[in-house]
């Protein structure tokens, strides 16, 4: 991430760090659970999308 000063000349590099060792609270565990559920749903939706694309391509070819 870069940050420019008011003059626009200075640039500072920032590195975002996520330390999983310090995230041991119940809230972070709940967030990890939510993220896992969303990742599972995203994978299922991606699979459905690929199937729909295949079906559309098949039907387009069949109708030609």
Q: Convert the pLDDT of each residue in 6-17 to its tens digit.
A: 555 666 677 777
Report the pLDDT value the prediction gives residue 1, as an integer from 0 to 100: 44
Indicate the number of domains in the chain.
1
Mean pLDDT of the 16-45 span: 84
Residue 10 within a domain: no
Task: Quote the domain boundaries for residue 61.
Answer: 21-64
Residue 49 within a domain: yes
For the cut 80, the answer to whether the pLDDT of residue 20 exceeds it is no
Distance from C-alpha of 8 to C-alpha of 14, rounded to nearest angstrom: 16
Choice between 12 and 63, residue whose per-residue pLDDT is larger? 63
Q: Convert the pLDDT of each residue in 35-55 to its tens digit.
A: 999 999 999 999 999 999 999
Distance from C-alpha of 40 to C-alpha of 3, rounded to nearest angstrom: 35
Residue 3 within a domain: no
DSSP the chain: -EEE-TTS--EEE------TTT--SHHHHHHHHHHHHHHHHHHHHHHHHHHHHHHHHHHHHHH-
Average pLDDT value for the chain: 82
Residue 53 within a domain: yes
Residue 8 within a domain: no
């Amino acid at each position: 991430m870069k940050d420019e000063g008011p003059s626009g000349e200075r640039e500072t590099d920032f590195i975002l760090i996520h330390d999983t060792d310090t995230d041991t609270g119940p809230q972070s565990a709940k967030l990890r659970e939510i993220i896992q559920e969303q990742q599972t749903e995203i994978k299922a939706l991606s699979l459905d999308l690929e199937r729909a694309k295949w079906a559309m391509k098949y039907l387009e070819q069949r109708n030609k």
